[in-house]
Structure 1
């Protein structure tokens, strides 16, 4: 179950205001941009920007990273072996399927298995 990419999560008030600085810093245009559960999201470089109201962002702020993987089922089996706790999901999301897991030790990570179209858009 290889990791395809890992994104640092960045929580912002307004995506259109935040994006130009990240585009300038990374030298890349957003590879993904979509809406989900009252949020706007964009992937640029190694960052996943999540924008929304404080109330909309509140349930997601504890999540440390988003990891793109090749098999959500394999990840779930591995994480269960090591005592991971599913906090949300598995869900169907605009880019494929995801799950949010609390790892032993407390780290909270979102794992996403992208569908073919989303994989094709990754840099």
Structure 2
């Protein structure tokens, strides 16, 4: 059970301009860019930043999540976090990159846990 990467989540309305800004700011190109049509979202990662793009209405449910942890096993983290007093507020489900869940930590932080099945 291991956290592979921690991502800061930034919600935006226009992915192209945000992507350009963060690529220039960090001096690196995006490592991934993909659509999530079921949720009407488009996402990209630049370094340790996860850009989540969509309309104001579509983004609303995603803005309460404080960060994203890429992990080696969502299932193992689910069991561990429940034992530590975490509350699963978004059940494990399939997403374009693999599987995820949303957890409210005992301190109140809301974190998305993602296990990648394929490289994006």
Coarse TM-score class (shorter-chain normalised): over 0.9
Task: Describe how 1:30-69 pairs up with structure 2 within 5 A.
Answer: 30-36=30-36, 37-69=39-71
Taking structure 1 as the reference length, what is the TM-score of the superposition? Answer: 0.91
Coordinate RMSD, CA, aligned? 1.0
- Local SS of the residue matching 2:77: helix
Deviation at 1:89, TM superposition (A): 2.3
Q: Which ranges of structure 1 fall in alignment gaps of 5 or more residues?
A: none
Q: Is 2:15 the counterpart of 1:19?
A: no
Question: Following superposition of structure 1 onto structure 2, how do residues 79-94 of structure 1 map, counting pairs within 5 Å?
Answer: 79-94=81-96
Q: Distance in 2 between matches of 1:78 and 1:26?
A: 34
How far apart, in 2, do the equivalents of 1:84 and 1:35 lie?
29
Show structure 1 runs of 4+ deviating over 6 A: none
Q: How many residues align?
A: 118
1:75 aligns with 2:82: no
Give the superposition deviation at 1:82: 1.0
